[in-house]
Structure 1
C-alpha cells in the first residue's frame, strides 16, 4: 500500500475535533482491547490529532507529525509500525520464518506456508479473518510489518496455501520515513 508513498500523494491536512478524537479513541479500544490501559498515552487528551487525506482514500492520523494510524476508506484502523513498536503487547501478532523477511521488506504479502513452517508461529487463540495483526519474524524482537488477515488463523493452518496476510505497511516503505 505504501511502497512508493511520497508527499505528492497528500491532499490535505486538518485538525480533528475533540469529539471525533474521543470517538477514534473508543473505536481503537474496541478494535484493540490491549490498548485500553495505554490509550491516553497513545492519544493524550491535550494533544491535537490531525488527519492527513491522501490519494486512493487513505487517511493518516498523526500527533505532532508522528503517524499513529492508517485507514483506507472505512476499513479498520491499521496501526503504524512505530506505534506497534511502542506497545507490542497491545496488538495481536503472527510470526513468519526467516525466509519470508526479505520478501516482506520488499512489499510482498505473506503466504500461508510462511506462517505455518518450522520457524513461524500462529497464536494459540484463533484470530478472525479481516483482523489487523502485527507481523514479527523468527529471531527478531520488533515487528517488521502490519497487515490484515485474509483468512482466519485456523483456516491458514488448515489450507496452508495462498495469501494469508495482506501487508499494509512495512519497515522501510514510503510511510516509514514520511514527514509532512
Structure 2
C-alpha cells in the first residue's frame, strides 16, 4: 500500500478536535487492548493530534509529526512499524518461513504455505480481519503489518491462497517518511 508513498502524496494535514482524538484513542484500545497501559505514551492527551489525508482515502495519524497509525477508508487502524517496534506485544504475531522473506520484503501479500511450512510457520489464533504483525523466520522484530484475509483455522484447513494482505513493510514509503512536516 505504501510502496511508492512519499510526503508529497499528503494532500492535507489537519489538527483534530478532542472528540475525534478520543474516538481514535477508543478505537485503538478496542482493537488492541494490550496497549491500555501505554496508550498515554502513544497518544498523549496534551499533544496535538494531526491527521494527514492521502490519496485513495488513506489517513495517517501523526503525533508530533511522527506517523503512529494508518487507516484505509473505514477499515481497521494499522499501527506503523515504528510504533510496533516500540510495543511489540500489542498485536498477534504471524511468522513466515525463510522462503517467503524476499517476497514479503518486496511488499507481496503472505500466502498460506508461508505460514504453515514446518520450518518457519508460527501463528497465534486470530479471526479474519484482524491486524497482525508479520515476522520472518530467524528475525526478532516484525518486518511487516497486515490484515488477515482468512482466520488461522481456515489457513490450516485450506493451506492455499493469500492469507494476509500486507499494508506496511520495512523500507516502504511510510517507513522512509518518518517525519511529516
TM exceeds 0.5? Answer: yes
Question: What residue in structure 1 maps to residue 84 of structure 2?
Answer: 84
CA RMSD, 1 decimal: 0.9
* SS of 1:172 mapped into structure 2: coil
SS at match of 1:107: coil
Cα distance in structure 1, aligned partners of 2:70 and 2:163? 20
Matches within 5 A, 1:86-105: 86-105=86-105
Distance in 1, matches of 2:175 and 2:65, equals 12
Secondary structure of the structure 1 residue equivalent to 2:128: coil
Other structure's SS at 2:56 match: helix
Q: Which residue of 1 aligns with 2:28?
A: 28
Which residues of 2 match residues 1-180 of structure 1 at below 5 A?
Answer: 1-118=1-118, 119-123=120-124, 126-178=125-177, 179-180=179-180
Matches of 1:105 and 1:156, distance apart in 2: 21
Unaligned runs of at least 5 residues, structure 1: none
Q: Deviations over 1:16-61 (max 9, x none)?
A: 1112111111111100111111111110111111100000000000
Segment of structure 1 superposing worse, 45-54 or 3-12: 3-12
TM-score (norm 2): 0.96
Gap regions ≥5 residues in structure 2: none
Deviations 1:68-93 (A, max 9, x none): 01000110101101111010111111
- Measured in 1, the distance between the counterparts of 2:36 and 2:140 equals 23
Give, in whole Å, the separation in 1 of the partners of 2:79 and 2:6: 19
Deviation beyond 6 Å, 4+ runs, structure 1: none
Q: Name the SS for the 1:74 alignment partner.
A: coil
